[in-house]
Amino acid sequence: MTEQQLLECITLNPKVMVGKPVIKGTRLTVAYVLNLLAHGETAAEILEEYQGLAPEDIQACLLFATKSLANTTFVPLLEPT
């Protein structure tokens, strides 16, 4: 799947989940999937729990997050000691 095809798996609609990015055809937000991954769930476990998902959907969430953060500048909140 191309990068563009992956990004097309993610939709934004103000009528679905208050406009948060979701996996097309679901009410699963990108943030929810990323949070599952961040807390140790594997892609296989997520796919088993949400059987309508494909591996590409999880890959699309990661790509969407990467693209969303690409032009973000991070500023440290505290000086290193």
Look up residue 39 and give its DSSP letter: T
The predicted-structure confidence for 11-38, as pLDDT tens digits, reads as follows: 999 999 999 999 999 999 999 999 999 9
Q: Does the predicted model carry a pTM greater than 0.85?
A: yes
Q: What is the pLDDT of residues 49-73, one digit of tens each?
A: 999 999 999 999 999 999 999 988 8
Under 8 Å between Cβ of 33 and 43: no
CB 30 within 8 A of CB 22: yes
